Amino acid sequence: MHSSHPALTGVDQRPERGLRIALLGYRSAPFSGGQGVYLRYLSQSLTALGHEVTVISGPPYPDLADTVRLVKLPSLDLYARDLGSVTRT
């Protein structure tokens, strides 16, 4: 059977323009738990490939590279030291 598609040897298959990618995290502690660490390295790698990456996260917020946009969503910070104002009735 003859293929009508030419061989793609040596052809750069990356798009001319990078993708716009959003990554979501509900709690993104930057140094433990996994999610914050994963968001940091994944977003950094995607921007290195030429993509525009936005991370949307609640506190604690991830520690991201300067090339990654962070949208901070306020929420109950369960890592806060003083939850007195939340727990008082």
Domain count, the chain: 1
Q: What is the pLDDT of residue 86?
A: 52
Residue 12 has pLDDT above 90, yes or no: no
Average pLDDT score over residue span 16-43: 85
Q: Please give the C-alpha separations between residue 53 and each of 22, 67, 76, 87, in angstroms, as whole numbers.
A: 6, 8, 25, 36
In a domain, 44, yes or no: yes
Residue 56 has pLDDT above 80, yes or no: yes
In a domain, 11, yes or no: no
Residue 46, classed as helix, strand or coil, is helix
In a domain, 86, yes or no: no
67/60: higher pLDDT: 67
In a domain, 12, yes or no: no
In a domain, 53, yes or no: yes
In a domain, 82, yes or no: no
Range of the domain at 41: 20-74
76 Cα distance to chain centroid: 21
